[in-house]
Amino acid sequence: MEKKKKKTSQKKKDPPQAKHEIDGLDVIPGPKIDQSAPESVITAYRALRTAKLHLMFAAAEHGNVQAFDAARMALEIAARNLSAAGPIGPADLSQSKAAAGTIANLQSEAADGQKLAATTLFGRFPLIRAFGLDPE
């Protein structure tokens, strides 16, 4: 009889509740920003993620010139805000140098991609996408 009571008492226990925390759909993998960072750093981080998204979209769209242009503008905003923030401490100096290097590399990639996209059929005639034509 005691065995039956133990089994029923184990069944009555509620399963542990899973904690669900969702910050939204994250399309771009990478580290999250600390929300206690200065506002200019957060703005630079968001602009950098926006630029990455535009670059991925430009590549997926077979050289969308407008997406490359939007990425370059977002990278300019990121660079301006990052330089305005300046390093907070010695540990932050290496991170800000790494971020500045990433921005410079992405600016170069966006400029090269925009030049290359201007020579493609989709880059020269962007309305082809609107009609759903695929020349490939």
Exposure of 69 by Cβ count < 10 A (0-12 exposed, 13-18 middle, 19+ buried)? Answer: middle
Check: pTM over 0.75? Answer yes or no: no
Dihedral sign of CA atoms 75, 78, 80, 83 in order: negative
pLDDT tens digits, 10-55:
555 554 443 444 455 555 666 677 777 778 888 888 898 899 999 9
* Residue 7 in tokens: 């089994």
